[in-house]
């Protein structure tokens, strides 16, 4: 049985917490896309952790963590992260790295930074983790696949070829120091040494695990609206954030993914540039940001303050639809307890016309939010475990949104901890 945990919004919905929670019953947790550019914050009995590359299931000794072929594999960061959790008392995790995953090279990070510098005010707000240059090279077929680390001759030749190609841009476009092929080759040998004990055919491993009836969890990064095809292009990430891509990025058949747990936050937040229709500003935004998440809405990777907004039914329904949500996990609801009234965005007005369908970016830029105001519950709902025990206005908020997004909210998260969850149905 395969379940996917994915985001309906712009990321930071609380997928890490839901994955960590569901990992209790999983045998294998797989990362299938993205890289070290986004982070999950997890709070459990070992403490508080920000993970970027490791799957959120690494805290259990019964699970195997798989870095799938679809991931942008940053080898030094992966092992730094393993060390950082082991140093804090977490048992050494069992990790497998796909022999078909490709490697984020140091020049990918350099190109990321150089390009942001070149674009100046028009930059994408990249985290400079090398993700866009990495995926560009993967699809331009000039990336390094993990399996290639084990072919010395190929590696040496390819280092010369890639350095020559990259140096044209370094010299003429960016005016930066050039890459020396022998240093590139050394970098690759260093990666080989680090990763070798963990490399295998993870697709075959998952195939066998499925035959044995094992429980597999696919963990997505970011959310539907950052998908390069279906999101707010070009302010998107460079790999698909959708559950469907889980099949490709893990190397399993699509029909194996039986449950798609789509995480949706009770209000909106986004990092980086791009249209954000229900965005709020000033003191109203500052207060929600300060109270949001666990200790404020600031990026887990960059520490940047997140942009804040009210819940957006248009974007979330679209986000759930693209994921193919079988279950919605509605998170961070406890944070809204301070509000007397809670606005919810139920439609967009574009050029005088009202729509409930999420438009492509050029129209999104013109969209104005239509807000409906719901009464707040004005109390702390943390610690409640039974749905019926939630205040009436809180249930009204959940049920109003469930109806608007048209997908079943089966889990409500009312705190950052593993146990802060209310199951419905």
Whether 216 and 258 have beta carbons less than 8 Å apart is answered as no
Whether 40 sits among the annotated catalytic residues: the reply is yes
Stretch that binds ligand GDP, among 13-21, 59-67, 281-289, 395-403 (CB under 6 A): 13-21
Calpha distance 413→416 (Å, rounded): 8
41 belongs to the binding site for ligand GDP (CB under 6 A): yes
242 belongs to the binding site for ligand GDP (CB under 6 A): no
**Which residue, 38 or 103, has its beta carbon nearer to ligand GDP?**
38
334 belongs to the binding site for ligand GDP (CB under 6 A): yes
Q: Is 141 left (phi over 0), alpha (psi -120 to 50) or beta?
A: left
- Sign of the torsion angle spanned by Cα atoms 304, 307, 311, 315: negative
Which of 4, 8, 10, 15 lies at the binding interface for ligand GDP (CB under 6 A)? 15
Of these residues, 40, 52, 108, 230, which one is catalytic? 40
Which of 3, 4, 11, 127 lies at the binding interface for ligand GDP (CB under 6 A)? 11
DSSP letter at 13 equals S
Calpha distance 308→280 (Å, rounded): 6
| Site residue total, ligand GDP (CB under 6 A) | 25
13 belongs to the binding site for ligand GDP (CB under 6 A): yes
- If one counts every other C-beta atom within 10 angstroms of the C-beta of residue 167, the result is 17
Which residues are CB-contacts of 194 (< 8 A; sequence separation ≥ 6)? 75, 76, 79
Stretch that binds ligand GDP, among 59-67, 132-140, 153-161, 330-338 (CB under 6 A): 330-338
127 belongs to the binding site for ligand GDP (CB under 6 A): no
Whether 362 sits among the annotated catalytic residues: the reply is no
Which of 69, 239, 331, 346 lies at the binding interface for ligand GDP (CB under 6 A)? 331
35 belongs to the binding site for ligand GDP (CB under 6 A): no
Which residues are CB-contacts of 282 (< 8 A; sequence separation ≥ 6)? none
DSSP letter at 343 equals E
264 belongs to the binding site for ligand GDP (CB under 6 A): no
**Which residue, 41 or 410, has its beta carbon nearer to ligand GDP?**
41
Calpha distance 333→337 (Å, rounded): 8
Which of 251, 293, 343, 347 lies at the binding interface for ligand GDP (CB under 6 A)? 293
CB of 47 to ligand GDP, least distance (A): 12
416 belongs to the binding site for ligand GDP (CB under 6 A): yes
Whether 201 and 82 have beta carbons less than 8 Å apart is answered as no
319 belongs to the binding site for ligand GDP (CB under 6 A): no
Which of 14, 133, 181, 347 lies at the binding interface for ligand GDP (CB under 6 A)? 14
**Which residue, 294 or 372, has its beta carbon nearer to ligand GDP?**
294
CB of 222 to ligand GDP, least distance (A): 8
Stretch that binds ligand GDP, among 143-151, 177-185, 282-290, 327-335 (CB under 6 A): 327-335
**Which residue, 220 or 343, has its beta carbon nearer to ligand GDP?**
220
CB of 218 to ligand GDP, least distance (A): 14
Smallest Cα–Cα separation from 81: which of 122, 36, 32, 16?
36
The pairs formed by 151-156 with CB atoms below 8 angstroms and a separation of 24 or more are 155/185, 155/188, 155/189, 156/185
Which residues are CB-contacts of 131 (< 8 A; sequence separation ≥ 6)? 34, 35, 37, 72, 104, 108, 112, 237, 238, 239
Calpha distance 54→77 (Å, rounded): 9
Indicate the pairing of strand 102-103 with strand 216-223.
Answer: unpaired
**Which of positions 335-354 make contact with ligand GDP (CB under 6 A)?**
335
| Main-chain phi, psi angles of 278, to 5 degrees | -90, 20
**Which residue, 26 or 43, has its beta carbon nearer to ligand GDP?**
43
**Which of positions 394-413 make contact with ligand GDP (CB under 6 A)?**
413
Task: Write out the two tokens for 117.
Answer: 């510098």
- List residues with catalytic annotation: 12, 40
Question: What are the residues binding ligand GDP (CB under 6 A)?
Answer: 7, 11-17, 38-41, 43, 293-294, 300, 331-332, 334-335, 413-416, 420
């Amino acid at each position: 049985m395969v379940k996917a945990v994915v985001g309906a919004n712009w990321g930071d919905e609380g997928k890490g917490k839901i994955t960590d929670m569901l990992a209790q019953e999983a045998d294998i947790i797989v990362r299938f896309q993205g890289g070290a550019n986004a982070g999950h914050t997890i709070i459990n009995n070992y403490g508080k952790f920000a993970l970027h590359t490791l799957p959120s299931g690494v805290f259990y000794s019964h699970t195997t963590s798989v870095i799938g072929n679809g991931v942008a594999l940053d080898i030094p960061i992966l092992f730094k992260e393993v060390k950082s959790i082991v140093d804090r008392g977490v048992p050494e995790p069992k990790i497998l790295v796909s022999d078909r995953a490709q490697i984020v090279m140091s020049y990918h990070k350099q190109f990321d930074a150089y390009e942001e510098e070149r674009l100046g005010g028009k930059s994408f707000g990249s985290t400079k983790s090398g993700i866009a240059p990495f995926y560009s090279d993967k699809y331009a077929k000039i990336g390094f696949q993990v399996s290639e680390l084990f072919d010395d001759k190929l590696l040496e030749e390819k280092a010369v070829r890639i350095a020559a190609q990259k140096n044209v841009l370094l010299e003429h476009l960016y005016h930066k120091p050039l890459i020396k092929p022998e240093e590139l080759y050394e970098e690759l040998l260093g990666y080989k040494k680090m990763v070798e004990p963990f490399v295998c055919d993870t697709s075959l491993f998952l195939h066998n695990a499925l035959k044995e009836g094992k429980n597999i969890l696919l963990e997505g990064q970011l959310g539907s609206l950052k998908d390069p095809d279906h999101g707010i292009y070009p302010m998107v990430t460079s790999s698909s954030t959708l559950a469907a891509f889980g099949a490709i990025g893990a190397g399993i058949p699509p029909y194996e993914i039986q449950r798609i747990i789509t995480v949706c936050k009770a209000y909106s937040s986004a990092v980086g540039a791009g249209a954000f229709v229900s965005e709020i500003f000033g003191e109203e935004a500052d207060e929600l940001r300060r109270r949001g998440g666990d200790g404020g809405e600031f990026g887990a990777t960059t520490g940047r303050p997140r942009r804040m907004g009210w819940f957006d039914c248009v974007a979330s329904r679209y986000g759930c639809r693209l994921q193919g949500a079988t279950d919605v996990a509605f998170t961070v609801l406890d944070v809204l307890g301070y509000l007397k009234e809670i606005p919810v965005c139920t439609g967009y007005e574009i050029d005088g016309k009202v729509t409930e369908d999420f438009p492509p970016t050029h129209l999104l830029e013109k969209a104005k939010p239509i807000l409906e105001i719901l009464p707040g519950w004005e109390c702390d709902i943390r610690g409640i475990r039974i749905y019926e025990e939630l205040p009436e206005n809180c249930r009204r908020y959940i049920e109003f949104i469930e109806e608007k997004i048209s997908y079943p909210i089966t889990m409500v998260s009312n705190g950052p901890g593993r146990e802060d969850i209310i199951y419905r149905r």
